[in-house]
Amino acid sequence: MANDQNQQVVFLPEGTRRTRGRDAQRINILIAKAVANAVKSTLGPKGMDKMIVDDLGDVIISNDGATILGEMSIDHPAGKMMVEVAKTQDDEVGDGTTTAVIIAGGLLEKAEKLLDDEIHPSIIIKGYRLAAEKAKELYTNISDDITVKDKAVLRQIALTSMTGKSAESAEELADLVVGAMTQVASEENGKTVIDLDNVKVEKKVGGSIKDSELIQGIIIDKEIVHSGMPKSQEDAKIALVDAAMEIKSPETDTKVQISDADQLQAFLDQEEAMLKRMVASVKNAGANVVICQKGIDDIAQHYLAKEGILAVRRVKKSDMDALAKATGARVVFRINDLSSSDLGKAKMVREKKISGDSMVFVEGCKNPKAVSILVRGGTEHVVDEAERAVHDAIGSVASAVNIGKVLYGGGSCEVEVASKLRGYAKTVGGREQLAIEAFAEALEIIPRTLAETAGMDTIDTLVALRSRHSGKDGVYIGVNVYTAKLEDMKKNKVVEPLKVKTQALTSGSEVAEMLLRIDDIIAGSGKSKGPQMPPGMGGMGGMDM
C-alpha cells in the first residue's frame, strides 16, 4: 500500500516543459526584474534614452516607458504582464509608465528575499494588499487640491511630465497643452471633466518645436478636392456630411439595358441632375464649406467649385466628431435634409502646405470644445518624441483636473509614504509586517533611481531623505536632479497628479501579487490561441538579467 502512495503519477505527455515551486517563482521574478531594469534608467529629468531597432531597421529613440516596452521583443508571459502594466498606466493616466513598472519590479525583488526567508507567498500577498490600500490613503492625505483655474500649477504639471523627454522648448509645449486643456474642460454634475478625445495632436516634420501651435479648431490631414475651389474661406459656414456626394452602385444585383445613344445620354443626364440637386441643397442651406466623410463625385466637385464652395472628402469619423464639437455643426446623413440650423461656424477654413503636405485648418471656432495641437520638429525622431511628451503632458493635466488632487515629485511623496508605512506595519504585526516593510522599501526605489541618474550616492541620499522626512517640515523634501541636492519640491514646483501615483501603485502591486501566486509553469498544448511558452521558459530577446 505504501508503494502505491509513493508511486509517481504521470499525467502530462513525455517531454512537456514544466517548472514548479520556487523555480517557477524565481523565473517569473527574474524576468519581471529584467523588464523593470530595462526602463529604470529612463526615470526622471536626467534619465537616459533607449534606441530600439526593429527587424526592418526602423529606429525609435525614446525614454517613454510604454513606448520602449511596447516596441521590445518580449516572449516570456511574465515579461508580457509587465508590459501590460505600462500599457494600463498609459491608457488610464497617460504618464507614469516607468514608475509603475519600476514599482512592480521592486515589489517582486523584495518579495524574493522574503521567499528566501521561508515566508509563504499568501502572507506576502496579504501584506502587499494592506500596504497598497494604506499607501493610497497616505498619498491622498499629503495631496493638495487643484482646479482648472489654477493655470500656473497646471503648467508646472505639464512641464514636470515633459521634463527629461528629448523635447526641447518644453515650456512652449506646456503652454499649448494647458491652453488646450482649459479650452475643452466642461462641467458635469458640478465637477470639471476633461475628455482626452477632444484634443487632437497632429505632427509634421519641419521647422522647430517652437513652431508648434494650438489651433482653436481642428486640423484635417487632407487637401481641398478641386483645384477650382477657393483655398480659404473666411466666416465659414460648415456642413458636415456623412453621405456620399456621388451616385452609388445599387446594393442589389441590377441590370440596366440601354438600346441607343439617346437613352445613354438620358441616363447620364439623370445622374448629373441628381448630383446637381445635392450641390443645390448645400448652397440653399447657406454652407460655403462642405466636409464629407465619404466620397465626392467629379461632377459634384465641379458644381461645388462653380458655387465657390470649399470641399474636403473622406475625412475620418473621429475628425468629423471633433469638428462637430469644435464648430457646433450637426452631422447630417441625408444631403437633401441639410438646413441652415445644421451648419457650424469658424472664422477661417484654409488649406496650408506644411513640409510639402497640404492640410486643411478649421480655425477660430468660438468657444470650441475640441481643439488641435500641431507639433513640429526638425527631424522625424524629434517630432515623434515631442508628440509622446505632449501625450504624457495632456494625460497628466487631464488626470490632475479630473481628480482635483496633486502631489509633489522628486521622490518626496514616496519617501514620506514609505516612512508612514513602516509605522503602520508595527500596528499590523505578524509576518505581514515584514511584507509591508518590504513594500515601503520598494517605493524608495523611485528616489534611489533619481539620485542615481543625478550622479549622487544612493545610500547617503536615502539615509538623508529618511532623516529629513522624520521631522515635521520634511514632507516635500525630495531629490533635485539638477543641483544633486535634497530640496523642497513644493517650492521647486515639481508637481504630479495624484492619479499617476495611485494608478502606478494599483497596477504595480496587482501584477506583483499575480506573479507571486504562480507556482507552476506548464507548456500548453498549442490548441488555444494564447501565447506559446518560449523554449526553456525564458526568452527576453537577449536582455540582461
Q: What is the pLDDT of residues 162-217, one digit of tens each?
A: 876 655 567 888 899 999 988 888 887 778 888 888 888 988 888 888 888 898 88
- Whether 545 shows a pLDDT value over 50: the answer reads no
- Whether 473 shows a pLDDT value over 90: the answer reads no
The strand ranges marked E within 167-279 are 186-188, 191-193, 199-205, 213-215, 218-220, 232-241
Candidates 42, 67, 88, 97; catalytic one: 97
Q: Which band of pLDDT confidence, cut at 50, 70 and 90, is reported for residue 53?
A: confident
pLDDT of residue 540: 46
Cα–Cα distance for residue pair 23/29, rounded to 1 Å: 10
What the block records as the C-alpha cell of 413 is 511623496
Cα–Cα distance for residue pair 217/387, rounded to 1 Å: 19
The answer to whether the beta carbons of residues 366 and 344 sit under 8 Å apart is no
What the block records as the C-alpha cell of 231 is 483655398
pLDDT of residue 525: 58
Mean pLDDT computed over 98-118: 90
Cα–Cα distance for residue pair 352/356, rounded to 1 Å: 9
Tell me which of 83-92, 189-198, 420-429, 529-538 is least confident.
529-538
Please confirm, yes or no, whether 392 is among the known catalytic residues.
yes
pLDDT of residue 536: 46
The torsion angles phi and psi of 6, rounded to 5 degrees, stand at -85, -10
Q: What is the pLDDT of residues 340-390, one digit of tens each?
A: 999 999 999 999 888 778 889 999 888 788 889 999 888 888 888 888 889
Cα–Cα distance for residue pair 131/125, rounded to 1 Å: 10
The answer to whether the beta carbons of residues 401 and 191 sit under 8 Å apart is no
Mean pLDDT computed over 28-32: 87
What the block records as the C-alpha cell of 221 is 490631414
pLDDT of residue 250: 52
Amino acid at 62: S
Please confirm, yes or no, whether 98 is among the known catalytic residues.
yes
Candidates 19, 42, 67, 98; catalytic one: 98
The CB-side HSE value for 484 (13 A sphere, CA atoms) comes to 8
Domain boundaries, the chain: 18-144+408-525, 147-216+369-403, 219-367
Q: Which residue has the higher pLDDT, 50 or 129?
A: 129
- Whether 87 shows a pLDDT value over 90: the answer reads no
pLDDT of residue 44: 82
Candidates 160, 392, 449, 453; catalytic one: 392
pLDDT of residue 529: 47
The answer to whether the beta carbons of residues 240 and 329 sit under 8 Å apart is yes
Of 71, 86, 95, 93, whose CA–CA distance to 32 is shortest? 86
Tell me which of 11-25, 155-169, 315-329, 453-467 is least confident.
11-25
Candidates 64, 95, 319, 384; catalytic one: 64
- Whether 10 shows a pLDDT value over 50: the answer reads no
Cα–Cα distance for residue pair 489/303, rounded to 1 Å: 63
Of 43, 98, 92, whose CA–CA distance to 67 is shortest? 98
Burial of residue 514 (CB within 10 Å: 0-12, 13-18, 19+) is middle
Q: What is the pLDDT of residues 511-537, one digit of tens each?
A: 888 888 877 666 665 554 444 444 444
What the block records as the C-alpha cell of 325 is 464639437
- Whether 16 shows a pLDDT value over 60: the answer reads no
Q: Which fold has domain 147-216+369-403?
A: GROEL; domain 2 (3.30.260)
Burial of residue 392 (CB within 10 Å: 0-12, 13-18, 19+) is buried
Cα–Cα distance for residue pair 458/467, rounded to 1 Å: 14
Q: If you write DSSP's letter for every residue of 341-385 in order, what string do you get?
A: GG-EEEEEEEEEEETTEEEEEEE--SS-S-EEEEEEESSHHHHHH
Comparing 18-144+408-525 with 219-367, is the CATH topology the same? no
Mean pLDDT computed over 418-434: 90
Q: Which residue has the higher pLDDT, 6 or 90?
A: 90
pLDDT of residue 234: 92
pLDDT of residue 1: 46
Q: Is 377 helix (H, G, I), strand (E, B) or coil?
A: strand
- Whether 297 shows a pLDDT value over 50: the answer reads yes
- Whether 11 shows a pLDDT value over 80: the answer reads no
- Whether 14 shows a pLDDT value over 80: the answer reads no
What CATH number has the domain spanning 219-367? Answer: 3.50.7.10
Cα–Cα distance for residue pair 425/432, rounded to 1 Å: 8
Q: Is 342 helix (H, G, I), strand (E, B) or coil?
A: helix
Give the count of beta carbons closer than 10 Å to the beta carbon of residue 34. 20
Q: Is 73 helix (H, G, I), strand (E, B) or coil?
A: coil
- Whether 434 shows a pLDDT value over 90: the answer reads yes
Mean pLDDT computed over 64-73: 80
Tell me which of 166-170, 285-289, 333-337 is least confident.
166-170
Q: Is 205 helix (H, G, I), strand (E, B) or coil?
A: strand
pLDDT of residue 402: 87
- Whether 539 shows a pLDDT value over 80: the answer reads no
- Whether 258 shows a pLDDT value over 80: the answer reads no
- Whether 81 shows a pLDDT value over 70: the answer reads yes
For 479, the enclosing helix (H) or strand (E) is strand 477-480
Residue with cell 495631496: 143
pLDDT of residue 542: 46
Q: Is 112 helix (H, G, I), strand (E, B) or coil?
A: helix
Residue with cell 486640423: 219
Strand partners, 495: 408
Amino acid at 536: G
Does the structural domain 18-144+408-525 have CATH classification 3.40.50.2300? no
Cα–Cα distance for residue pair 267/256, rounded to 1 Å: 10
Mean pLDDT computed over 440-462: 92
Residue with cell 523627454: 165
pLDDT of residue 502: 92
